Structure 1
Amino acid sequence: MFRKKIAIIAVFLLGKTYGQVTGDVFVLNRDRDLFYVHYTPDISDNSSFDYQRLSGKLGFAPILFNKLAFYNTIGMDYHSIKHGENKPLFLRKNEDYYNVNYSLLAKYRITRKWSVNALIMPHLIGSFNDDIKSDDFKINGILFAEKRFNTKNRNTYYILSFGVGYLTLSGETMINPVVNIMGNINNKVSFAVGLPSTYVKYDFNNKHSVKLVGDLNDFTVRMDKPILPTIPEGTNVKRSVFTTASVGIEYNYWLTKTIGVMVRGTRLVFEKYEFQDSEDEYLFGFDVPSKSYLSVGVKINPFR
């Protein structure tokens, strides 16, 4: 268990997060998409299941009061898992899950270089085949400070963020440190490194850019099913935990000043798809092969 937690923490150093944590907070403004839709199709192979994902996010104009600002974001993820013939009896042939999420960031600017921030992230995650229950509703949050470092070059600056987060990752909700450093160098290179976001982007010009990314896809779904349907009084499967982390490269092409399309190729470096009982103990798990994924998407970014 200790080694698994260490691996999970290392995974959390990776960048774009789908699932329990929402809201592109530790991203430079010039890299923040106001709207996006990403689609990752399944790649048929000899594995025991196929997976595909559709994710979307919509941000709203900030609400400003003197030194205080509020930023609102809503999003939804659709996860589809198609199991093979040798699936356990408690699973359907196709399991379809949703995650409806909202994030509210409150930013209070103390000085031109310092701010304190609070992020609240409620989300509802469940199965399209089951009724909604109170256990499907979760809340995560982050409290952090932010310090900006300017340089003699007005197009080069760095931002340090540090604080604490109450976050759900790989089925466990824990209090974690949150540290991140972001930077913009001559409006050509931008980056974010730390917990929970990492990426490096290079802008060739106003039309083309490439980005090295980390991709963390994580969701935990309530199940409450007997592991053997023919023995209802037996052990129950209480939840499904799906966590994958991958690294890759993303290419962006901007059709206009604000509207762009992207193609991203990633390779899995960490994976877990398992089922647990009411004590959060392991009952059954799939071997997730190390495989590659290709994602496509459309985005709107008025901050470029």
Structure 2
Amino acid sequence: MILRLSKCYTLLVLLTLGCIHLAQAQLTDLARLEYSFIPSSKSEDQYTRLRASLNYPIKIKNKDYLIIGGEYNRILLNLEDEYSFNTHQLKKLHVIDFSLGYTFKTSEKWRLGIQITPRIASTLTSKLTTDDMFLNGGVFAIKDRRDAKDIDKPYRLVLGLTYNSTTGVPFPLPFVSYFRRVNEKWSYSIGVPKSNVKYFFNEKSILQTFAGLDGYFANIQQPITVNEQVADNISLSVALGGLGYEYCFTKHLIAYSYIGYTFLLSNHLRDDNRDNVYKLNDLNAFYFRSGIKFKI
């Protein structure tokens, strides 16, 4: 039963992390720079991620937009513990997304969004191959009433279907996200990969509690043999919670920081079928993420 739950948890993380770029940004994030850090407990191992993304909307007509974008993640794995195999090629992982999206109004209250995201996720220690390439995407219906003047509690609802080739699931899975502004001081958001409750000191200074998912999946270009098994992929899946703070310099420019602790962590080398080959350090640890973003 524990093994089944672990596989379901890992599948959920990989699915959502691979497909939520359009829904997570809600078609509003134009640029983002971010730094994440997880030091392993009772270990010298560390995980660091540097992330940069850029989206460029092109107005087609009225409120219809074509969105061309990209995102780059450099993942630095400082595997300082003693391992029975060479970890040198695992020190740097690269996740590169190229995205093409289209969003259009279907009514005064609803908007549809479609996105296709080819991805390169690999150690990139040799020539690029098809094993380094993945295809993600999604279709989303968005009802955004955050700026509505005719309701007391503004909200946003996102319903969708997402597909992620890294999970091995050959069909789309559902996606749901819901945000509600309760009053001047409080709001909440329920969904995946992140749920939160926010307290507004004012419209510029915001404190929140959160729970969410993080992680990655990448191809190992030079497979590693461990205990007579071959590891072709590496993945990290994390469930975490903590506190966050946002400061809005302007309506569009926002700085943010999150600090928390992981309560589920799955860090594995995997074979070509995504089955576990070797478990890396999986002790729960401190989590930190900070960055700045520019949104519409």
Shorter chain as denominator, the TM-score bin is 0.7 to 0.9
In the other structure, the counterpart of 1:2 is 4
- What count of residue pairs does the alignment treat as equivalent? 291
Whole-Å separation in 1 of the counterparts to 2:187 and 2:270: 40
| Closer, same or farther: CA 99–87 of 1 in aligned 2, 3 Å | same
Q: How big is the shift at 1:38?
A: 1.4
The corresponding residue for 2:239 is 245
Q: Does 1:290 align with 2:284?
A: yes
Matches for 1:109-128 after TM superposition, within 5 Å: 109-128=105-124
**What one-letter code is carried by the residue in structure 1 that aligns with 2:266?**
K
Counterparts of 1:72 and 1:36, CA distance in 2 = 15
1:23 to 17, 21, 26: 21
1:38 aligns with 2:40: no
Counterpart check, 1:165 vs 2:167: no
Q: What secondary structure is seen at the aligned counterpart in 2 of 1:52?
A: strand
Q: 1:205 is matched with which residue?
A: 202
Comparing 151-160 and 128-137, the one that deviates more: 151-160
Opposite residue 138 of structure 1, the aligned amino acid is F
Q: Taking structure 1 as reference, are residues 200 and 56 closer, same or farther at Cα in structure 2, changes over 3 Å only?
A: farther
Q: Deviations over 1:86-139 (max 9, x none)?
A: 113142286101111133332232211233331222211111433321221111
Conserved? CA contact 2:193–2:214, under 8 Å: no
Mark the CA change 1:94 to 1:227 in structure 2 (over 3 Å): closer, same or farther.
Answer: closer
Equivalent position amino acid for 2:107 in 1: T
1:177 has 2:174 as partner: yes
Partner residue of 1:227?
A: 225
Q: In the superposition, relative to structure 1, how do residues 71 and 228 fare at CA in structure 2: closer, same or farther (>3 Å)? A: closer
Question: Given that residues 46 and 79 in structure 2 are in contact (C-alpha distance below 8 angstroms), is that contact kept between their aligned partners in structure 1?
Answer: yes
TM-score by length of 1: 0.80
Query: 1:10: Cα distance to partner?
Result: 6.5
- Local SS of the residue matching 2:23: coil
Paired with 2:89 and 2:25, the residues of 1 have a C-alpha distance of 38
Scaled by the length of structure 2, the TM-score of the pair is: 0.82
Structure 1 unmatched runs, 5+ = none
Could you tell me whether the CA contact under 8 Å between 2:85 and 2:224 is conserved in 1?
A: no
Q: Is the 8 A contact 1:28 1:182 kept in 2?
A: no
Equivalent position amino acid for 2:292 in 1: V
CA contact (8 A) 2:14 2:237 kept: no
Q: Which secondary structure state, in structure 2, belongs to the residue aligned with residue 278 of structure 1?
A: coil
Q: Which runs of 5+ in 2 are unaligned?
A: none
Matched residue SS, 1:193: strand
Relative to 1, partners in 2 of residues 1:218 and 1:113: Cα closer, same or farther, differing over 3 Å? same
Query: How far apart are 1:290 and its partner, in Å?
Result: 0.8
- CA shift for structure 1 position 256: 4.8
Q: Percent identity over the alignment?
A: 20
Alignment check: 8 A CA contact 2:38 2:285 kept = no
Please tell me the root mean square deviation across aligned C-alpha atoms, in Å: 3.2
Q: How does 1:23-172 map to 2 (within 5 A)?
A: 23-26=21-24, 32-41=28-37, 43=39, 46-47=42-43, 49-66=45-62, 68-92=64-88, 95-148=91-144, 153-154=150-151, 156-167=153-164, 171-172=167-168
AA aligned to 2:6 is K
1:227-254 Cα deviation digits (max 9, x unpaired):
169xxxx643211122122112211223
Query: What whole-Å deviation, never above 9, does each CA across 1:132-171 have from its counterpart, x for those lacking one?
Result: 21221111111232345687745632233223211256x5
Kept in 1, the 8 Å contact 2:41–2:283? The answer is: no
- Quote how far apart the aligned CAs of 1:74 are: 1.8
How many Å apart are 1:70 and its aligned residue? 2.2
